[in-house]
Amino acid sequence: MTRKVILDVDTGSDDACAILLAYLRPEIDLVAVCTVKGNQPIENTTENTLRVRDLLKADFPVYRGCSGSLVKTTVYPRIQRTQNADAIDANGEKVHIHTPLLPLPASTRKEEDIPAPIFYVNYLMNAKEPVTLVPVGPLTNLAVALTIEPEIVKNIEEIVIMGGGWNITNATIASEFNIYDDPEAAQKVLHCGAKITMVPLDATHTAYISQEDSDELKRINTPASLFAASQLDLRILVHDQAQPLEVPHTCALHDPLCIAYLIDPDVLQDVKFCNVEVSLGGVTEGQTVVDQRAIQENRNVYFAFRGDHEKFAKIFIDAFR
């Protein structure tokens, strides 16, 4: 039984790997991919998504989404991002974990004419069966769609969000990037009423991918596996220098872990049904505040505190075989 999925991406190195994994795994029916600004401006995240579609010779539609956050960039200056995601490569060149344009040929086919939030409303209001949404960038598109038509929730099977952090942050002292980039959008989605599973940095950093995994992709030696390996090598370089994980020469591969969860839920561990709220200002702006008290009201999110790196690596690499 395949699972219908709509990916929402700010393509980036790990978003690209999530698109590859979702398309290549038979368990997933990739209905569409929506783009949003985040790692890069909307022009780049959209072009990068189109390039990955060409690499796969795939036909899923791409819908371009929001170029700015709901309110964050239009009100008084908010807390600035302080985590760097840069490294110095073997040639002494400075590299960033997300290259502005992916090292792939320019796209040959363009996105659809309808903006992503309108696509969400049209598709979900007419869906014949429930769909799983997998937003792995800022949640702006989905927040706009929910504002246009809250009823879309009736055809959402589950929302699997890459975002948030409890013991680990990466954008500011208290926040993870996707939530930090549009905290108001995240708060709106977390309270929309759909089943929500959150895959935070606590899970992605423990479900790490290693240099050996990247080398295995090189041995598989297909255009898709070699591209994925190039993105893993870039991420391992940056993690080693800027965001070291518990094991050296490994990287967090955040976005694909959400897809892996749809293939084998056991790839997420220590999942607790909690009340999660998003801080909207001050030094904690963008923080996912997770209530783990025994007696809780308003539980709204299945929050994964850990991931299984062996299970995840196998799911990811097997997709390319």
Is 233 one of the binding residues for ligand RIB (CB under 6 A)? no
Task: Note whether 162 and 186 are within 8 A (CB).
Answer: no
Per partner kind, with CB cut-offs from 5 to 8 A, the member of Ca ion, ligand RIB, none near residue 208 is none
- With CB under 6 A as the contact rule, the residue among 48, 170, 210, 250 that binds ligand RIB is 170
Per partner kind, with CB cut-offs from 5 to 8 A, the member of ligand RIB, Ca ion, none near residue 286 is none
Helices (H) then strands (E): counts for the chain: 11, 13
Is 44 one of the binding residues for ligand RIB (CB under 6 A)? no
Task: Mark 256-295 with x for binding to ligand RIB (rule: CB under 6 A) and - for no binding.
Answer: ----------------------------------------
Closest CA to 33 of 57, 62, 13: 62
Closest CA to 13 of 136, 160, 174, 106: 136
What Rg value do the Cα atoms of the chain yield, rounded? 18
- With CB under 6 A as the contact rule, the residue among 23, 123, 166, 177 that binds ligand RIB is 177
- Closest CB to ligand RIB among 121 and 251? 251
**CA 320 from chain center: how many Å?**
20
- With CB under 5 A as the contact rule, the residue among 137, 163, 256, 286 that binds Ca ion is 137
Q: What are phi and psi of 234, to 5 degrees?
A: -65, -45
- For the question of residue 254 being annotated catalytic, the response is yes
Query: Binding segment for Ca ion among 43-51, 132-140, 147-155, 275-283 (CB under 5 A)?
Result: 132-140
In the chain, how long is the greatest CA-to-CA distance?
Answer: 55
Is 35 one of the binding residues for ligand RIB (CB under 6 A)? no
Q: At what angle do helices 254-263 and 13-24 cross, to 10 degrees?
A: 20
Per partner kind, with CB cut-offs from 5 to 8 A, the member of Ca ion, ligand RIB, none near residue 261 is none
- CA distance linking residue 187 with residue 184, whole number of Å: 5
Is 15 one of the binding residues for ligand RIB (CB under 6 A)? yes
Is 136 one of the binding residues for Ca ion (CB under 5 A)? yes
- Name the residues annotated as catalytic: 254
